[in-house]
């Protein structure tokens, strides 16, 4: 059994790691300083433009996009390595395009939709959002109440969506809605592509989240769209949605590995330099055990994540494994980052260090894409 990435995939991972080291980590101080000063946590337009240009020059766009769309068509295991590297920085930049929405388009789009939506998205020419959660339906997609009803010109959507990332800047949003309430999520749920300026599609409010991040609430009020914007077959939206969520959960696990490795590095650097009561922190048993536990958990998490990704690549059912990874990775990262913050003391609490941002994002990841408790239930249900 080979536990290493193939040479080509290691080279891509290492290239991404150099991009992170040379381009993203140097921006952290400015990004955190602006957020501490009351501005949004994010990149300035010129910073993003530079990163886009540099990553494009390096051939890092569309890494898992189809070859026909100009991408590199990397498998899921290779993307774990890529996202581990991305996860080592808190600079908010993801190599275009965002993989989960790309994956859903690949799974469900017809030829016309590929030309209109997938190809420009794969090139990084457009941005997208995904609208699943509702005020009364978060982790249970079977409780969705947003509806899509046929009319002579296509579909009319009505409902409310919440906790939607990137909605304000998205050129289009994939909206999950019920087309047959009697069939529920399996047979009655469909996906639709709604363009930003469509009448009846309203971004009602921005919701500030911890870590300086934001989500949005969307209202669909008699939102009329052409029939051609049904993504996939009517009533068959649940499966590609689940594939999309699985993709994001693997991304999150890889990000958590990267975050945890960076946190351990910061912990060790400080522990070697800091002396308390005449003894270096590196010689304190508590600190040593934190380091040992962190390295063990990171190693275990990496193996779990690659195994789940390998199952995806060969078409095996990986739902249980991905739920295991989602729980383990997010809790592991939260613990490792917390121990790093504790080791650094007051400095670990400042907005001059990335640890506080890592901690906030790790906390969010224990909720986003399904909370920990739901994934534990999924794992237990597989054997009970």
For 248, the token pair is 């994001």
- Residue among 205, 182, 179 nearest 192 (CA): 179
Q: Which residue in 175, 178, 198 sits closest to 188, CA to CA? A: 178
What is the DSSP-derived secondary structure letter of residue 174?
E
Query: What pLDDT, on a 0 to 100 scale, did the predictor assign at position 2?
Result: 78
The pLDDT of 353-363, averaged and rounded, is: 97
The answer, as to whether pTM is greater than 0.85, is yes
Given a contact cutoff of 8 angstroms between Cβ atoms, the answer to whether 173 and 164 are in contact is yes
Q: Distance from CA of residue 135 to its chain's centroid?
A: 21
Q: Give the gyration radius of the chain's Cα atoms.
A: 21
Confidence check: pLDDT of 308 > 90: yes
- pLDDT for residue 138 is more than 80: no
Grade residue 143 by pLDDT with cuts at 50, 70 and 90: confident
Asked if 334 and 259 count as a contact pair (C-beta separation under 8 A), the reply is: no
Angle (CA) 287 290 291, round 5°: 90
Residue 208: exposure state from Cβ atoms within 10 A (0-12, 13-18, ≥19) = exposed
β-bridge pairing 214-226 and 154-164: antiparallel
* pLDDT at residue 282, as a whole number: 96
Structure tokens at 223: 């939102």
Report helix, strand or coil for 21.
helix
Place of tokens 């995806």: 312
Tens of pLDDT, residues 52-108: 999 999 999 999 999 999 999 999 999 999 999 999 999 999 999 999 999 999 999
Torsion angle in degrees (nearest 10) through CA of 222, 224, 230, 235: 30
Domains annotated for the chain, with CATH where assigned, are 7-122 (1.10.540.10), 128-231 (2.40.110.10), 239-381 (1.20.140.10)
Q: Which of 163, 130, 161 is nearest to 145 (CA)?
A: 161
pLDDT tens readout for residues 244-256: 999 999 999 999 9
Question: What are the tens digits of pLDDT across the range 29-44?
Answer: 999 999 999 888 999 9
């Amino acid at each position: 059994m080979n536990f290493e990435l193939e040479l080509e995939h290691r080279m891509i991972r290492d290239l991404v790691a150099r991009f992170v080291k040379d381009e993203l980590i140097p921006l952290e101080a400015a990004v955190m300083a602006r957020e501490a000063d009351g501005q949004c946590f994010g990149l300035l337009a010129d910073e993003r433009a530079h990163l886009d240009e540099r990553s494009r020059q390096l051939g890092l766009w569309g890494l898992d996009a189809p070859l026909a769309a100009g991408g590199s068509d990397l498998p899921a295991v290779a993307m774990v390595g890529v996202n581990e590297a991305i996860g080592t920085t808190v600079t908010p930049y993801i190599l275009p395009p965002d993989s989960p929405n790309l994956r859903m388009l690949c799974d469900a789009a017809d030829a016309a939709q590929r030309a209109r939506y997938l190809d420009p998205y794969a090139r990084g020419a457009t941005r997208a959002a995904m609208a699943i959660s509702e005020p009364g339906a978060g982790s249970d997609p079977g409780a969705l109440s947003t509806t899509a009803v046929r009319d002579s010109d296509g579909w009319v959507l009505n409902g409310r969506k919440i906790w939607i990332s990137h909605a304000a800047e998205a050129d289009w949003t994939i909206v999950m809605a019920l087309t047959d309430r009697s069939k529920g999520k399996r047979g009655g749920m469909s996906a639709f592509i709604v363009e930003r300026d469509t009448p009846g599609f309203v971004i009602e409010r921005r919701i500030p989240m911890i870590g300086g991040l934001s989500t949005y609430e969307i209202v669909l009020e008699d939102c009329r769209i052409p029939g051609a914007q049904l993504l996939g077959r009517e009533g068959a939206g649940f499966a590609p949605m689940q594939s999309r969520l699985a993709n994001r959960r693997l991304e999150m696990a890889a990000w958590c590995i990267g975050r945890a490795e960076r946190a351990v590095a910061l912990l060790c650097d400080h522990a070697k330099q800091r002396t308390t009561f005449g003894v270096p922190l590196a010689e304190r048993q508590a600190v040593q055990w934190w380091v040992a536990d962190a390295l063990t958990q990171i190693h275990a998490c990496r193996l779990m994540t690659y195994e789940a990704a390998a199952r995806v690549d060969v078409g095996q059912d990986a739902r249980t494994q991905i739920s295991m990874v989602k729980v383990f990775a997010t809790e592991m990262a939260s613990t490792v980052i917390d121990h790093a913050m504790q080791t650094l003391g007051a400095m670990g609490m400042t907005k001059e260090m990335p640890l506080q941002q890592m901690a906030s994002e790790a906390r969010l990841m224990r909720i986003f894409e399904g909370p920990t408790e739901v994934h534990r239930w999924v794992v237990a249900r597989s054997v009970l």
